[in-house]
Structure 1
Amino acid sequence: MNARVLAVWCPDWPAVAAAVAADLPATRPVAVLHANRVVACSTQARAAGVRRGLRRREAQARCPELHVAQSDPERDARLFESVVAAVDEAVPGVEILRPGLLVLAARGASRYFGSEEAAAERLVDVVAAAGAECQIGTADELSTAVIAARHGELVPAGEGAQFLAPLPIAEIAAEPSLAAPDRGDLADLLRRLGLRTIGDFAALSPVDVTSRFGADAVLAHRAARAEPERPPSARALPPDLEVEQQFDPPIERVDAAAFAGRGLAERLHAKLSGAGVACTRLQVSANTGNGEQLTRVWRCAEPLTPEGTADRVRWQLDGWLTGRSEPRPTAGITVLRLEPVEVVAVGALQLGLWGGVGEEDERARRALTRVQGLLGGDAVRVGVHSGGRGPIERITLVSLGDELVPAADPAAPWPGRLPEPAPSTVLPNLPVVSLEDGSGVAVGVTERGEFTAPPTRLRWGSRTWGVQGWAGPWPVDERWWDTAAAQHAARVQVLLAESRALLLICVGGRWGVEGIYE
């Protein structure tokens, strides 16, 4: 028999935490932003028309009294500690998936309170006493229980697949702590393939899913079928993986504890790398000068990187030392210990460019920041996916360190947009070429979006290639209402001899090379 799981979900937790931090009344609408877009909002904000994904200006236009706060995972984790402490006092053995969501074994809770229904009612009261609202879900499997909590359902034993079947396919990507970062793309692809519900996806053969999609799709398919996503312990724990550090004098400040926690995280991952494993469940423990023992377990969908471990240690220490948990520690921390509770093979984690795990981004950023300091702020730019019809327009270059805001919304409809695949090399200067028919006459594009004659060869400087095939033309008629800014153009993909493919654009009767496919 499977060990049943009970999930406690606090809706809109980032918005709730932001309101508590700002000491706002419960009736004030709140939105949390990241990269100038809404990532979470309160019930009052949704009632006024605020939705995830909206830009700040549009959200404030829909709700003028909206309180706007920036995304702050440390704030969310620090304030969630009081909820975790309250639940853990009622039912020991809590595991945190993320701030706002925790799970525990349903068997112990139901035995103590008499039934799962009684346990759910009691935990709702416990969380309410801690100053938050929550929904409870139970099921045989972890992901099913989390989805059930989002619907406030207690799923009977053995009925997980029936519960999931009618739900929209987007539900498999609704919880980021249980999915890979690109799970949303998978859900969108499945929807476009005609699989509208989780049941439609579950009905596919596991062999078909494995052969046509990636590893995360296999995990999502097992979750859709309410099958075990992974065993309780994916791999036997090698000995002596835990790390600890003693402090004299005791640490009482959050910044000092976080600094020590980062060093401890690096030591832990050095041991994990040596053993050929990666951590998926981490226990953070601390002893205080008065003999108090503090322990929390963090569970993750993907193996932890050193940065991910350090973040969770910092969040947990922040919650303990700021007194958000009850009772507050009466003395500073004398011992800090990190212990992996569950591990997987190291192959589950992509190794970094310099041999470490999760280090390459930080090292590359430091190098680029150094170049930026030598050459100026605009010398180093990063690309941001933007909206547009051509490949040049669909990338916005932003100076390193600036807010990653695209020039145009990529989610907006763009009639006439170049179809996939995009060229691997984009040429902003548009080198001029000549597209000709069999008689050497230049080929153009009519107002109806058709070639004036079938193209047979292309001249680029001193070289000439035969045209073996093409796709298009795709006419573009932009800003037709503005005579000064209007642009009439047409794009075409051409396949040349020697397996070379180009993206051409015709503007004013002249052809230029906009991209190269390799």
Structure 2
Amino acid sequence: MSRVLVVWCADWPVAAALSEAGLPRHLPAAVFAQNRVQASNQAAREFGIKRGMRRRDAQSRCPEVQVLAADDARDARVFEEVLARLEELRPGVMPLRPGLVALRSPARFYGGETEAGAAIAECVVGLGIWDVRIGIADELFTAEQAARSAGLQETYAVPAEGGSTAFLRALPVHVLEDANAVSLLQRLGLTTLGGLADLPGADVKARFGAQAAWVRRVIHGEGARPVTGRTPPPELATEVAFEPPLDSAEAVCFSARQAAEGFVKGLATRQEVCTEVRIEVAMDDVADSRRTWAHPRWFSAVDLIDRLHWQLAGAVSAGGGGAVTRVRFVPEVAVPEAVHADGLWGGTDERVDRGIARVQGLLGHEAVVAPVLQGGRSPRDRQAYVPWGDRPSTLRDRALPWPGSIPPPAPARVLADPWPAEVCDQAGRQVVVLPRGGVSGDPARYRPAAGQPWQRVASWAGPWPVTEAWWEPGGGRRVARFQLVGVDGRAWLATFDTDHWLTEASYD
């Protein structure tokens, strides 16, 4: 019977994030979700950074740690390259999760299990992934645990003919994925899977859950999961080669039109559309031109040819033009077409989209940005700008409470540079915010900026104190915000910062 081989790429979320960001893999790095460590690499663990640690504590242990955002889609997308490479060696891979994949052991082809593991590890290391471990056993769960027990770029082969039972019985109970079951077993004094296996089968499921009951069956030689190979995803990229090479942008675009139509049609057969595409242009004697283009809706064949033309024009203006030998369209993001169906009242004028995309092609992708809202305490903190066509992915959550933030309505105008202001009480003294959050006197007169006339204050609200970055050397920054309405009807957002006043925004 064919044995099971499991490939485990340790700390995969960190490896995938570093790879996509183009950062060296030896740097201490951690992936964070909701300000807690979700995964860290070995370099970060050497500083004491571990799973579940708060971001602030992790950065205090290692200020140089690379802070990476959790992204399941990115992890799966980067792991696709590993799956494709393994399928070239042994068709029929079974992805378990990003960073973990199983396949039938090719030991007979390579002359032994150790040799097969070494060949698989060499293949993965060739992709730049150093921390890879191989496990081989009679069934899937045991092979996965063997991979987790293996050393760096090593193969752990569990002996056949009963070796799986002895191996599993010696494992600690924390290999179970059910945290509640692990806690209960430890409180009962059962520290290894052997203790779990000795319990009566009828009671395990009711007391410890389905996963613990299934692991118990595996230890007793039952309940093994078969390895079922996946169906490889279709090749969605489309390319066209030119022989002889073309040195005219118009000729390239005309010849690539059929490839662009085939690209869109191939996605349409899967009921998908492309919202982010990478266009690769290979040229004679010069470096290839590669650029990722985003669309606020989805790319049509005309859109693709436009982007290709603008990319070629940009390459010529940058002094990197040459005869084109190949053009390739690669979908970076493909989504179901229903997501981008036209609304009842229509959407953005297509001419606007194409005009903005052309400006991006000439000046750069980040030359045109669109404002979006995010979470924050001050009006300026709530503003974010993303390149036109991109989907915001790193915004602060607006649903969080944000203590110290001003209540609605939001200001209509946020000043790019706050104006120096003055706020005085009835006696003409400057109003200051006391250490306990009170004020030295009621605001009576207000001047929004130097050179503007004084206004009497008709009503006011506040303060909303905020202490920012209090953990930094020097104590950070402590401010308090006020809403002031003058007798002329104008309303302002004023901020008391340490010992002076600023005007941050105005209301309609």
TM-score (norm 2): 0.45
Asked which structure has the greater RCO (Cα within 8 Å, sep 6+), the reply is 1
Larger-Rg structure: 2
